[in-house]
Structure 1
């Protein structure tokens, strides 16, 4: 019996898509070849903490000998030192969940994988100024964000940001803001709408800031965000392949070069290549919402292929639209504006089933809120929320766990277990079941 269970687990590991194969073009190797730093405490800082490991210098691979919740107490972890890999997949079950905070990357050559970040309003009053992103790059470059879960942000759930005009010309603007960022297999869900952000409503998926380039979204799930799934600002260049946008509010994908922000600077045409994506309306989606809308004053060069947009009942929605009566134009391109080499691309009609199996942190060892969101997407349920308590009891309460990390049992290049079995791997379907549900399935 024991051998059978082990065999089933190995088969499950091999069946999980995109964990070790079809990885696309990775922009960095992170801390590969560097020293191993073990996280041994769930404290937000101090010896053995994730914060201490992040602050170390030189190439390093951060692994976890503890699982549970890291409470940042309304602060942000800032990564400035380069050549870093944070491998959340090494943590014992239930993995690593960061609450009441977020992560900003300000350095380069960084890999983050299999972390959960649940920012939350934490009871702060409306307009009070608590406005953290769950994750953002800030003038960073060559970053891979892989199989993470970002929820309940007060600003964006996951973004690529930085200075708008850092330098004397366009080449310097682009070099000095975020560039060469790959978001792969992430869940970005339930950005909080009317919470503590000083601007009021701010349920946002992803922002690609002005002049950011080489930004790629591959096989991500955006769910229950009012806007920005993603928003490209002026002059930004992005590639979107096989993403699912479920239950956007007033805008899904959109572009906006704002004249008020570009005063005194020549406009730069943005670029977007979108292939095999799906936008599916839900309970919060505005009627007639297009897949892509344009606002502002600048133009967007656009190549789109095999993108589906439907309402909550499967009725087709427009591919493009606009907000604001300005001169901004969507300029169709006959060929992709970014290279798609190295990416396995599914037909849009096959995307949803594939993505729901693999997206987010630790798909072999799901957290309760991840399961809830994924099942709601599959069932056509859920909506945009204002506070984390609207969908349960708030922040997760997880018992801490411990297990030593043995580097001999891991491939330190791919950061995958040599026997194919991840910590906490489940052989059965992962569902949120009540006591009655469990009794009926026996």
Structure 2
């Protein structure tokens, strides 16, 4: 007898993909509460700057919670939104449907004690010629600390989709180096997809997921999904320290997770051993993945201390892929550790074999109110489809939803958790979310197209 259980599980997974609202996970591990307890600042315009804009809200001083009374697209017109003032919470979940999407730009966070939730950033090449110099990240922490970035969707970056960076050697010793660059950052439940490959970056091909720069410490990746990036999912640089728990890497091109301390960048400085702890992660090859690609690769000259357990790596057909490889003929060592190099306390850790279905229902911005491009990416991951791209135009270009408005009613929200007291988020859908053609819709409704 043929069992129907696998078919039922797949159908259930697809059905649940976009039905569930975001849930709080890994409570107690946050390095900051952002602007909790501060004043409410309302975003009332989609203009890139001026009164009532998101830019004005993030540039305000003091503890503040940014909420949205407008939904739609904020066009940065090929510029960067810089956040420098600390003690800030940006609550994209408060926006009316379809939420807030930032296009033609990115976010550079240069402050501390910041929480960013439920934003979409779609950078794009915006018609710029190849190698012409437009090189924006979708999101980058630049010498920032005590940061939470959660439930955001970062697509079409020209450099990294989501990174933590800063100076390598600011200070007199290792302790000062680490203090003066980015540290203590939690990346949770984010979607990082389709970094543009042969676009306008001056270095050439640059489809990158996440870069954790030299000597950055205290970085946690929890339940994130990288899809269709050539490499850096993530790249951990020299002396950096990162914890990866229950993340998924789909369709990496040349490299998935990798570590590299480059002699060219460390000349004159004593090497520092990097640290990676990876538990319960999945790497699945896709249409753009090189055959035999390993889960973790070691490059450069510096050693890496590594603890890994319950990680799964498979090719496009589900066959086991290598767990480790290297690029470069160097003396760098992989030093395997029996115990985690970072604390796992406070994390709800799923077996890697259960991860995919769980991630699909929660990862990215506003999972109760998905944007069409998020739906497309997630369905492609579920179905083993999609590929690395060079230009957002190949997928239809930037979104243009109509602007919406709705007042933010403070008494209806728990301002500590930034969740609606009713349990119903703005724009929450009651059924599975799909992007349907006219023919698809007619079939679902039992009718026929002409």
Place the TM-score, normalised by the shorter chain, in its bin.
over 0.9
Q: 1:27–1:181: 8 Å Cα contact kept in structure 2?
A: yes
- Alignment partners' CA distance in 2, 1:235 and 1:419: 46
Matched, 1:92 2:87: no
Q: 2:231–2:252: 8 Å Cα contact kept in structure 1?
A: yes
Matched, 1:82 2:86: yes
Q: 2:22–2:368: 8 Å Cα contact kept in structure 1?
A: no
1:134 to 135, 138, 147: 138
- Alignment partners' CA distance in 1, 2:24 and 2:352: 22
- Alignment partners' CA distance in 2, 1:344 and 1:323: 34
- Alignment partners' CA distance in 1, 2:121 and 2:256: 22
The 3 A distance-change label for structure 1 pair 21 and 212 is: closer
The residue that corresponds to 1:363 in the other structure is 367
SS of the equivalent of 2:148 reads: strand
SS of the equivalent of 1:386 reads: coil
Superposition deviation, residue 351 in structure 1: 0.0
Superposition deviation, residue 390 in structure 1: 1.3
Matched, 1:154 2:190: no
When normalised by structure 2's length, the TM-score is 0.94
2:221 to 213, 217, 220: 217
- Alignment partners' CA distance in 1, 2:27 and 2:69: 26
1:234 to 235, 238, 242: 238
- Alignment partners' CA distance in 2, 1:298 and 1:34: 44
Q: 2:242–2:275: 8 Å Cα contact kept in structure 1?
A: yes
Matched, 1:325 2:309: no
- Alignment partners' CA distance in 1, 2:25 and 2:333: 38
The residue that corresponds to 2:5 in the other structure is none
The 3 A distance-change label for structure 1 pair 251 and 310 is: same
Superposition deviation, residue 18 in structure 1: 5.3
Q: 1:24–1:344: 8 Å Cα contact kept in structure 2?
A: no
The residue that corresponds to 2:183 in the other structure is 179
The residue that corresponds to 1:385 in the other structure is 389
SS of the equivalent of 1:321 reads: strand
The residue that corresponds to 1:257 in the other structure is 261
Number of aligned positions between the proteins? 428
The residue that corresponds to 2:67 in the other structure is 63
The residue that corresponds to 1:398 in the other structure is 401
SS of the equivalent of 1:260 reads: helix
The residue that corresponds to 2:422 in the other structure is 419
Alignment deviations for residues 298-341 of structure 1 (CA, whole Å, 9 cap, x no partner): 00000000000000100100100000000111100010000010
The residue that corresponds to 2:411 in the other structure is 408
The residue that corresponds to 1:28 in the other structure is 32
Gapped runs of 5+ residues in structure 2?
1-15, 446-450
- Alignment partners' CA distance in 2, 1:135 and 1:23: 23
The residue that corresponds to 2:342 in the other structure is 338
Q: Considering only aligned residues, what root-mean-square deviation do their CA atoms show, in Å?
A: 0.9
The 3 A distance-change label for structure 1 pair 115 and 296 is: same
The residue that corresponds to 2:433 in the other structure is 430
Alignment deviations for residues 88-140 of structure 1 (CA, whole Å, 9 cap, x no partner): 00000000000000001100000000000000000000000000000000000
Q: 2:21–2:367: 8 Å Cα contact kept in structure 1?
A: no
- Alignment partners' CA distance in 2, 1:406 and 1:206: 36
Alignment deviations for residues 150-209 of structure 1 (CA, whole Å, 9 cap, x no partner): 000000000000001010100000000000000000000000000000000000000000
The residue that corresponds to 2:193 in the other structure is 189
Superposition deviation, residue 389 in structure 1: 1.0
- Alignment partners' CA distance in 1, 2:48 and 2:112: 23
Q: 2:228–2:253: 8 Å Cα contact kept in structure 1?
A: yes
Superposition deviation, residue 231 in structure 1: 0.1
Superposition deviation, residue 16 in structure 1: 3.4
When normalised by structure 1's length, the TM-score is 0.96
- Alignment partners' CA distance in 2, 1:207 and 1:321: 19
